[in-house]
Structure 1
Amino acid sequence: MALVVKYIVDGYHDLMDNKSDPRVNDWFLMSSPFYTLGICLGYVYIVKVLGPKFMESRKPFELKTLLIFYNLFQVIFSSWLFYESCVAGWLTHYSYRCQPVDYSRTPLAMRMVRGCWWYYISKFTEFLDTFFFVLRKKYDHVSTLHVIHHGVMPMSVWFGVKFTPGGHSTFFGFLNTFVHIIMYSYYLLAALGPRYQRYLWWKKYLTAIQMVQFILVMVHAFQLLFIDCNYPKAFVWWIGMHAVMFYFLFSNFYKETYNRNQARKEAKAAAAKAAALNGKPQNGVHQNGVEKNGSQKIGICFTSQTALYEHSSNTNGVKSVTNGYTSEETKTLRNRAFVPNGN
């Protein structure tokens, strides 16, 4: 047993010290994966256990101003990361077919390395999305998809920065930062309040854009399984399988959130139409405006309907009121407002 443990420990140190990129070994949080793992596990514990317990007896926080500035920051941060990925490679000299990692210390290579590290840091700032949901008691937003997505990404990106900070797999960050510009722009408009609601009709397309992103990453990554390229196959599988996992998670979310909601709306509209044709109650309200409440019916007769209730010309027991009449006897039904006895 001791030999097995020694073998594992020696293999780990060899991987971290000799197989990793020496340019990032001394950078913040890059010396060991366990710091990132601990932060990710702490994030899950906070949003699923500690946060809800903290908010249990508290009212939801508003956070409107904070959310505006946070989302504005994320738009700017994502825009800068996207710009850096473009200038350092993807819109200049990088090949979309096969792009090995440049392990040199040239200014352009180091610019891409720094961009990769900052992209890794951005995965931690995105934890605030979930923290704000918890503080506002929007627990339905803290879904399994949401927690897995945010909880896994820092760990996934850490390995990329540690071993391949540049080259083929950074295509994922290139696309992802662009998607985040769109996503946080939407959140920013939503945080600004109801007056901007008319600009938010494209919410469901955010998930569709993310799904397209994962398909592009899958195709881009797995193409290296069929061509000769000086890029680690392990990272081809690492990035590709992440894209597959997230694609199916987001696809399932899309179906549950949008397709089923649309089906429910259509079914409800069809039921309401059928009820209207059959003269049946709709949500407890009769076509003549009478609502059932136990054994009592309470209704309102509008001006155009008054003639329907004129059963007698006798005005005894009738009091004049503004714009109509009320009857003291339920049998003399000349009401604008009435409460009949019985069923």
Structure 2
Amino acid sequence: MEMSTQQCLTSLISTHPDYTCLNEMFPRLIELSDLPVADPVAAKFPFLGSAWLVTFLLISYLLIILKLGKKFMEHRKPYNINNILIVYNVFQMIYNVIMFCMIVYYCIIKPTYDFTCMETLSFDHPRKNMERALSYAFFVNKIIDLLDTIFFVLRKSYKQITVLHVYHHVLMVFLPYWVVRFYGVGAQFVTTAFLNTFVHAVMYLYYMITAMYPGMKGSLWWKKYITVLQIIQFLIGMIQSAYILNFNPECDFPKIFHAIIIIGGAIFVAMFSNFYIRAYIMPQRRKLK
């Protein structure tokens, strides 16, 4: 029986991982990689031009964080990479703030899209290259995000390498590639980037503070609200898609992508909600007993 991507990732991260599910992915990728590219210009950007490069990157990532990395660290003490983490978190925070500000400028201050029907800009649109640049910058940032897990491995923080964490990181690289390949850049996924960059700017601010001042890790009251923001971002994306499907059905943004946004968003809402309950609500209840 064929596994879904989520089932495959769950299997890989389990106590007894089943790597055979990776073999099932290759025939599908071969078929998909033969389809024409929606935006030939964007396809020339590094990583966006080859399904195999993205696949190799993600398989390497999975092997490192789930097997090779743990094997490498088996007889080693956790590395003290605090200074690296400070630089990394500062970089990520600034990167996301810049992207967020640019999206605000091009979507709100100087509106480029109609939020009731966000379609990819035509090739001759004066802001098309900016749309490509922002989309690619977001995609590259999702690749950089993979370092989060590598750092967990080097610090032996294996409990943080959860199904939610791995699923989220893999999907945020895998999905944008195929969206650009089949549909093009920008469009309604700009909403995703708008929300995600804001959430990540806040998240990496938290990580930066705790890396610089480890003693504050347990005292920052707003930590749990980062998870709340993550849940809200998916809810907003789902609401936007549901609104367009119901009140603007003539919108040319593919309905399959609306379905992906709604279904994928629902999965993430459920997973992040489960994390929030386990991390914040249940411990509080245990304290009250």
TM > 0.5 fold call: yes
Higher helix share: 2
The secondary structure found in structure 1 opposite 2:44 is coil
Aligned residues of 1:85 and 1:174 also touching (Cα < 8 A): yes
Matches within 5 A, 1:174-253: 174-194=194-214, 196-197=216-217, 200-226=220-246, 227=248, 228-253=250-275
Of residues 125, 128, 133, the one that matches 1:109 is 128
Of residues 128, 135, 140, the one that matches 2:147 is 128
For residue 24 of structure 1, what is the amino acid of its counterpart? A
Separation (CA, whole Å) in 1 of partners of 2:123 and 2:108: 18
Q: Tell me if 1:75 matches 2:96.
A: no
Separation (CA, whole Å) in 1 of partners of 2:68 and 2:218: 36
Separation (CA, whole Å) in 2 of partners of 1:153 and 1:112: 18
Aligned residues of 2:33 and 2:51 also touching (Cα < 8 A): no
For residue 64 of structure 1, what is the amino acid of its counterpart? N
Q: Tell me if 1:25 matches 2:43.
A: yes
Aligned residues of 2:210 and 2:217 also touching (Cα < 8 A): yes
- What corresponds to 1:4 in structure 2? none
- Give the 3 Å change call, closer, same or farther, for CA 150–11 of structure 1 in structure 2: closer
Residue 49 of structure 1 deviates from its aligned partner by 0.8
Q: For each residue in 1:305-343, what CA deviation from the matched residue of structure 2 results, as whole angstroms up to 9, or x when unmatched?
A: xxxxxxxxxxxxxxxxxxxxxxxxxxxxxxxxxxxxxxx
User: Whose radius of gyration is greater, 1 or 2?
Assistant: 1
The secondary structure found in structure 1 opposite 2:39 is coil
Of residues 146, 170, 181, the one that matches 2:165 is 146
Residue 36 of structure 1 deviates from its aligned partner by 1.1
Matches within 5 A, 1:1-343: 13=34, 15-17=35-37, 20-93=38-111, 94-162=113-181, 163-194=183-214, 196-197=216-217, 200-226=220-246, 227=248, 228-267=250-289
What percentage of residue pairs aligned between the two structures are identical?
A: 33
Aligned residues of 1:21 and 1:103 also touching (Cα < 8 A): no
Higher strand share: 1
Separation (CA, whole Å) in 2 of partners of 1:194 and 1:78: 23
- What corresponds to 1:325 in structure 2? none
Q: What is the root-mean-square deviation of aligned Cα atoms in Å?
A: 2.0
Aligned residues of 1:88 and 1:109 also touching (Cα < 8 A): no
Residue 174 of structure 1 deviates from its aligned partner by 0.8
Aligned residues of 1:169 and 1:236 also touching (Cα < 8 A): no
For structure 1, the 5+ residue unaligned runs are 1-7, 268-343
Residue 171 of structure 1 deviates from its aligned partner by 0.6
Q: Per chain length, whose mean CA-contact separation is higher, i.e. which structure has more relative contact order (CA < 8 Å, sep 6+)?
A: 2
TM-score w.r.t. the length of structure 1 is 0.70
Separation (CA, whole Å) in 2 of partners of 1:90 and 1:44: 38
Q: For each residue in 1:82-115, what CA deviation from the matched residue of structure 2 results, as whole angstroms up to 9, or x when unmatched?
A: 1222223344322221122112244422101111
- What corresponds to 1:317 in structure 2? none
Q: How many residues get paired?
A: 257
For structure 2, the 5+ residue unaligned runs are 1-28
Separation (CA, whole Å) in 1 of partners of 2:58 and 2:282: 32
